[in-house]
Amino acid sequence: MEKVKIIADSGCNIDLDMAKEYDISILPFNINFKDKSYTDLYELSREDFFIKYKESKERVTTSMPSPGKFLKLLEEEYQEGYRNFVIFSITKKFSGIYQMMDMMKEEFVEENPDARIKIIDTNTATIAAIYPVIKAAIYAKDGMGLDEIYKKSLDNLKYCNVAGVVKNLDALVRGGRLPKTIAKLANLISFSPVLCIEDGEIKLIKKVTGKKKSYKELIKYLKKLCKKYKDYQIIIGGADSGEEIEILKEGLSSEIENALDFKIIDVTAVIGSHLGDGVIFCSIFPIN
């Protein structure tokens, strides 16, 4: 039986508990404050991140892990007996991490000819990427081979979805993740956009005035998604967003009751640094 190792960057929002449960290795981004840089998840918890984020008067930035860190992770797993790897990255439109991994895998395979590496651009980020990563880990645990896991994982990308409401658009604009035109319009007429990630980019679902209306539109959009599947899972993600999560839970109470699985998770720090606190979003995934 082939041993296949599943790896994901920390922008895919696999937390350490999930990583342990499904035997997934994480390649973490770096979180950069003015005074110090931290390794996402391992050196900075999400709780500590938002405390520092709110206290920081300077822009919080992120950076990719170094090529050396990626090669070190591969080498560690190789020494554990793995020769087959399926690796997931956030959309290349948000980061250059896919390109870095794709380039460095050639160097690793050249030094280790029996290694086989498949890298997948999820074309999305945050909780939307959880579905294909977890499914791949389940396939690996069930003894599926590298090529089949890779093929199924590519097919599972069609189920990736996420929609939400961001409290503060400034962080998205500064990081180049949101067009300035949307943010300018939001500031001019005080509208609160409902956003999604589609084709690897942040796009506008609906523009409404006021947060209450935006939550209603988000809930309406998510209810339609739930109707697509007979059996489904709901994941709500937030960033220091207790009040916003309760609003979403109340609006989706019937859908949550009918869901085969329901989770509330925090965003990883690399995502939180670009979305800010108070963000709320949700993904609906099929089961079976």
**Most confident range, picked from 148-157, 167-176, 182-191, 265-274:** 148-157
Q: Does residue 31 have a pLDDT over 80?
A: yes
CB of 93 within 8 A of CB of 200? yes
Q: Using CA atoms, how far apart are residues 275 and 288, in angstroms rounded to an integer? A: 32
Q: Does residue 165 have a pLDDT over 60?
A: yes
Share of the chain above pLDDT 90, in %: 73
Lowest mean pLDDT among 3-17, 134-148, 159-173, 206-220: 159-173
Q: Does residue 19 have a pLDDT over 90?
A: yes
CA torsion angle for 193, 28, 106, 176 (degrees, to 10)? 30
Three-class secondary structure of residue 69 per DSSP: helix
Sign of the C-alpha dihedral, residues 59, 241, 26, 92?
A: negative
> Which structure tokens are listed for 65?
């892990």
Model pLDDT, residue 63: 96
Lowest mean pLDDT among 6-10, 38-42, 98-102, 181-185: 181-185
Q: What does 115-151 look like in DSSP terms, one character per residue?
A: -EEEEEE-SS-GGGGHHHHHHHHHHHHTT--HHHHHH
Model pLDDT, residue 15: 92
Q: Does residue 176 have a pLDDT over 60?
A: no
Model pLDDT, residue 106: 97
Model pLDDT, residue 42: 95
Q: Determine the topology of domain 4-29+64-158 in CATH.
A: Rossmann fold (3.40.50)
Q: What pTM value is reported for the model?
A: 0.92
Class at the top of the CATH hierarchy for domain 161-286 = alpha beta
CB of 60 within 8 A of CB of 31? yes
> Which structure tokens are listed for 223?
């209810």
pLDDT band at 181 (very low <50, low <70, confident <90, very high): low
Share of the chain above pLDDT 70, in %: 92
pLDDT band at 186 (very low <50, low <70, confident <90, very high): low
Model pLDDT, residue 204: 86
Q: Could you report the per-residue pLDDT of 188-242, keeping only the tens digit for each?
A: 545 678 999 999 998 889 888 888 899 999 999 999 999 999 999 999 999 888 9
CB of 185 within 8 A of CB of 179? no
Model pLDDT, residue 182: 59
Q: Which tops the pLDDT comparison, 276 or 176?
A: 276
Q: Could you report the per-residue pLDDT of 71-110, keeping only the tens digit for each?
A: 999 999 999 999 999 999 999 999 999 999 999 999 999 9
> Domain-by-domain residue ranges, the chain?
4-29+64-158, 161-286
Model pLDDT, residue 252: 97
